């Protein structure tokens, strides 16, 4: 992910979340040394589109997922699974042992994705999301040395 990607990313973000991240939040992540900010780009008829992005931190021996979204037109094609596998594999390469994330309790699509990737719910933060008053589920998974999502 680069600064030049942000206009497209902000449009995906706005279409994906009730309270989208601002440009400043993305710029902060791009400036953070231990943040990994990655995009998947897809070329269609000579035009390159940002199809998905993921942001995670490598902290101590833990990977923390901060943001993940797939552009609507490219959903249900395995891109989120691929990005989650990439996060696991980068974590494994640099010696991380576990990975964690927070997800809105009503975001069933994302919860299903994370369960498929081996995450389990280990805790709950009541009314963590002040825009909707939703609880956050705190999910954890071990880093796998080899992953195969089929």
Ligand X SMILES: CC(C)(COP(=O)(O)OP(=O)(O)OC[C@H]1O[C@@H](n2cnc3c(N)ncnc32)[C@H](O)[C@@H]1OP(=O)(O)O)[C@@H](O)C(=O)NCCC(=O)NCCS
Of the candidates 6, 10, 42, 81, which one interacts with ligand X according to CB under 6 A?
81
DSSP 66-129: EEEEE-GGGTTSSHHHHHHHHHHHHHHHTT--EEEEEEETT-HHHHHHHHHTT-EEEEEEEEEE
The contact pattern for ligand X, residues 86-125, with x = CB under 6 A and - = no contact, is -----------------x---x-xx-xx--x---------
Stretch that binds ligand X, among 28-36, 55-63, 75-83, 125-133 (CB under 6 A): 75-83
Does residue 132 belong to the site contacting ligand X (CB under 6 A)? no
Of the candidates 79, 136, 141, 143, which one interacts with ligand X according to CB under 6 A?
79
Q: To the nearest whole angstrom, how small is the minimum distance from the Cβ of residue 72 to ligand X?
A: 8
Cβ-based neighbours of 132, under 8 Å, separated by 6 or more = 18, 104, 106
- Cα 138 to Cα 47, 104, 114, 128, distances in angstroms: 38, 9, 11, 11
3-state secondary structure of 130: coil
Query: 113: alpha, beta or left, given left = phi > 0 and alpha = psi -120 to 50?
Result: alpha
Instruction: Tell me which residues in 32-61 interact with ligand X (CB under 6 A).
Output: none
Q: To the nearest whole angstrom, how small is the minimum distance from the Cβ of residue 76 to ligand X?
A: 5
Q: To the nearest whole angstrom, how small is the minimum distance from the Cβ of residue 13 to ligand X?
A: 9
Residues making contact with ligand X (CB under 6 A): 16, 68-70, 75-81, 103, 107, 109-110, 112-113, 116
């Amino acid at each position: 992910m680069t600064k030049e990607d942000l206009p497209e990313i902000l449009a995906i973000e706005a279409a994906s979340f009730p309270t989208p991240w601002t440009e400043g939040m993305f710029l902060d992540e791009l400036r953070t040394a231990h943040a990994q900010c990655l995009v998947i780009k897809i070329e269609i008829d000579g035009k390159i589109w940002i199809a998905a992005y993921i942001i995670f931190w490598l902290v101590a021996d833990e990977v923390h997922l901060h943001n993940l979204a797939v552009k609507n037109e490219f959903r249900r094609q395995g891109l989120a699974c691929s990005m989650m596998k990439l996060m696991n594999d980068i974590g494994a390469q640099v010696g991380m042992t576990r990975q964690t994330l927070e997800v809105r309790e009503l975001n069933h699509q994302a919860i299903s994705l994370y369960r498929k990737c081996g995450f389990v719910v280990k805790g709950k933060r009541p009314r963590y999301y002040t825009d909707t008053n939703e609880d956050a589920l705190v999910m954890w998974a071990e880093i796998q040395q080899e992953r195969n999502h089929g």
